Each structure stands twice: as C-alpha cells, then as structure tokens.
A and B are shown apart, each in its own frame.
Chain A
C-alpha cells in the first residue's frame, strides 16, 4: 500500500460491483472524499463496463435534472409575497 496521501488508483485494491454501486451516488454528488475509496472506485470503473455505463447514465440524469428541474416563480406568487412584506 502506498503511503502517498493521494494514492493512484493503480496502487490500490479494486472493489467489486456491489461496493461500486454503494459509492456511485456519493461519487457523482462529490461526496466521496476519502482518497483511497475514490481511487478504488475509479479503478473499478476502469475495468467494469457495466458500472462504467451505470455511472455514465446516472451522470446524464444528474445533468438533465439540473437543466430542466428549475422553475420560475410565477408573478402572482412574487406579488403575494411583496404584498405580505409591505403589510409588515
């Protein structure tokens, strides 16, 4: 095991698919911060076509949610809140 603070993924043991799926969303959400876990996860993606495909699909879904999920507040609601604040 490398004592490097940021282990390269060639230096770590590969995880299996269950562990990869367990870490998949934390990875995509930027929550997988432990260097060794990150390296092990990336090593698995380099070798596993299925988990790589899952990761790609989930990444596309994340992008589409960000693109299309935003809503614009209707003017009626903005007016209602302005009226409420004016009345204070």
Chain B
C-alpha cells in the first residue's frame, strides 16, 4: 500500500487525487484478482492497474499538459541516441556532470531530488519511480507500462539526464557551480 501511495503521490501532485487513485486501483485490483495467474507477478500487475487508472481518469484532469516533445526512441544505434541526447545539453552542464562539486553531492537532499523527479515529463517520471524508487526490473517496468524493455532503458537514460540537468540548475541557483557567472553573462 505504501508503495502504491508513494508512486501515486508523485504522479498526481495532489493528495486528494492521489488517495482517490490508490483507492480506485485497489478496488479494480480486488475485482480482477482472479485474472492474476501468477501471484509472483502481483507487484507489476498492481502498478499496471494504478498506471492505467491514472491514464484513464486522472491525467486528463491534470493542469499540466502531457509533454510530447520527448519522443521515445526505439531501435537504432544506442551510442547515436546518447550522442543526440548529449548534443542537446549545454556544455557547462556536461562538464559539471563529469565533475560535480563534492559539497553539492554531499549536501544533495533526497527532497530536492524528489522535487526534480516530479518535474520530469510523465513518461520518464513513472519509469524512474518504478525502477529507482520501487526497485522494479526493466522487464517488470516494461510489463507495467506496456512498452518494450528497450524503451524502458531508453527512457531511463533520457529521464535521468533530464533529472541531472535540473539538479545542475539547482546547483547553479545555489551558487555552487563555477559556470554560474558565465551563464548569467551569456543569457
């Protein structure tokens, strides 16, 4: 129950919707429990119900638009995908990512990271939550989201790169990055 609640809270951004989503998911799971042949698959099955409820009932109520600018990348060359992804990032960010300030890393709060996760586009947010928060495997996450495992892997790379970029911005706002002054001059 705590796991469902934790994921639902980050999906809905709203305590009332979150509680409604969990309650509705539990009710649907209860009525469909006989369709679950393999009880060892309960967790991905339950998260799939939660995600489907969210898509059908709650996402349309969200004030945030569903982002369409980050398309899934499937097939093709993985290195090319990473290269294309990194080309889109500022050089200052890429340099920082390879050499983050120790002070920043040591003081990085889980709360700040969770806030940054909540700002990710929905498809990346749910993927990062299921894997990094709930510990689902890539195959289980693919089962929950109804997508191929390769797309899960791709979403992790893109979602976590976007997350890093937000944390870099956070470090800049806190005056921790060396590139802070430069950025202010060039923007």
Contacts and interface: CB of A to CB of B under 8 A. Distances in A.
Nearest to A84: B27
B6 A29 contact: no
B98 A25 contact: no
Given A73-B1, A76-B19, A29 B100 contact: no
Contact of A64 (B26, B30, B79, B110): B110
Given A77-B5, A77-B23, A84-B23, A58 B160 contact: yes
A79 B13 CA distance: 22
10 closest Cβ contacts across the A-B interface?
Answer: A68-B110, A50-B98, A64-B110, A71-B6, A69-B133, A73-B5, A25-B156, A22-B82, A65-B132, A22-B78
A26 B19 contact: no
Contact of B105 (A19, A21, A50, A56): A56
B119 interface: no
Category for how many chain B residues contact A: 35 or more
Given A54-B97, A64-B113, A65-B113, A21 B82 contact: yes
A68 B105 CA distance: 16
Tell me what chain B mostly uses at the interface: helix, strand, loop, or mixed: helix
B30 A88 contact: yes
Interface of B: 1-6, 9-10, 19, 22-23, 26-27, 30, 78-79, 81-83, 86, 97-100, 105, 108-111, 113-114, 117, 128-129, 131-133, 135, 137-138, 153, 156-157, 160, 163-164, 167
A72 B19 contact: no
Contacts of A76: 19
Given A21-B86, A26-B153, A61-B108, A31 B138 contact: yes
Contacts of A78: 1
A53 to B, nearest CB: 6
Contacts of B113: 61, 64-65, 68
A85 B30 contact: yes
Given A57-B105, A58-B160, A64-B108, A69 B114 contact: yes
A80 interface: yes
Given A54-B97, A85-B30, A62 B132 contact: yes
A53 B100 contact: yes
A7 B133 CA distance: 32
